[in-house]
A = this chain, B = another copy of it.
């Protein structure tokens, strides 16, 4: 574990902190589609992603979903940080977008390390910052963009985090991610294909115009 940790976070954290993490942290490998956290669930720990990607999404009472953003290698989940401060319940759902390796850190350590390690403080603040910016991005998309632009952006995001211009997914799944209906997505995807921006296949989409 310490090896993968050093590789991803070595330049960030001082040796003593790396050691602390590897002592109390719990290595976890989860397959694609695995649900790491759900809305209303108490927070068990804070994840440090070593490899893979996680989809963070929001749901309302009626079951409508919306993807907020993805987190990747080197990231952590600000919502988790957040919950250590105030309430203990998660406001979001986290689902592994690809096979993912991560370290879970018990929440008790956080305040502790905040006082001790400057690098930890900076990491936490940076994470909050990054997540706030992602949320701003999300808000920009929903508030200012039409569905076809949101769709294209979503496809590019997915291509980016999987590092593959061919996305394995269905129209139905995209519709859920963007909180709209399958018919609408099929319609717009066809339009994007006619514009030469993507290529459609059964169960996959190739993004041309990255």
A interface residues, Cβ below 8 angstroms from B: 58, 60, 62, 64, 66, 68, 78-79, 81-82, 85-86, 91-92, 114-115, 118, 121-122, 124-126, 128-133, 135-136, 138-140, 142-144, 179
Instruction: Judge whether A66 and B143 touch: CB under 8 Å.
Output: yes
Q: What is the total number of copies of this protein in its complex? A: 2
A87 to chain B, nearest CB (A): 9
Cα distance A125–B121 in the bound complex, in angstroms: 10
Closest Cβ neighbor of A61 among chain B residues: B144
CB neighbours of A118 from chain B (8 A): 115
Instruction: Judge whether B179 and A85 touch: CB under 8 Å.
Output: no
Option from B124, B132, B144 in Cβ contact (under 8 Å) with A79: B132
What are 17 sample pairs from A and B whose C-beta atoms fall under 8 A apart? Answer: A60-B144, A62-B144, A64-B143, A64-B144, A68-B139, A78-B128, A81-B128, A82-B128, A85-B122, A85-B125, A85-B126, A86-B126, A86-B129, A132-B132, A135-B135, A138-B139, A139-B139
